[in-house]
Amino acid sequence: MCSSTVLLAELLEVLSREKFAVRLAQAGLTPLQIVGELRRMAYMVAPDKVPRVIENDPDDDHVVACAVTAQADIIVSGDKHLHSLGEQYKGIRIVSAAKALELIKTA
């Protein structure tokens, strides 16, 4: 699993939204704890540049740049903008979570 400071900052912002507050509190978690744990587990990269790839959602360009920099095999996402690139980008497969689990089971 790879990530970048930009992607983790976006995740922190999303998890800090009111709509997640009750669920996180029930689980005894905070957005900062979740992001901190992901930072600890992830291979962190710092892309030199973030090329414009996703026309309709430039924030998703950071996902692509992270994957390219990390030389990832797959991008796991349900994001329609990422899937608009097709099944792959620069040799990196773009798959749903269900497909990723299927690939892991057969590996």
**What is the reported pLDDT for 47?**
97
Token pair 């026309």 is found at 55
**What is the reported pLDDT for 67?**
98
State which H helix or E strand residue 15 sits in.
helix 5-15
Q: Name the residue type at position 95.
A: V
User: CB–CB of 8/34 below 8 Å?
Assistant: no
Check whether residue 65 and residue 105 sit in a common domain. Answer: yes
8 phi and psi angles, rounded to 5 deg: -70, -35
Check whether residue 55 and residue 106 sit in a common domain. Answer: yes
Check whether residue 74 and residue 97 sit in a common domain. Answer: yes
Q: How confident is the model over 26-41, as a mean pLDDT?
A: 98
Split into its structural domains, the chain has a count of 2
* pTM beyond 0.85: yes
Check whether residue 33 and residue 79 sit in a common domain. Answer: no
**What is the reported pLDDT for 107?**
81
The pLDDT tens digits for 52-98 are 999 999 999 999 999 999 999 999 999 999 999 999 999 999 999 99
Where does 1-107 have alpha helices with state H? 5-15, 18-27, 31-41, 61-70, 80-83, 97-106
Residue range(s) defining the domain that contains residue 72: 51-107
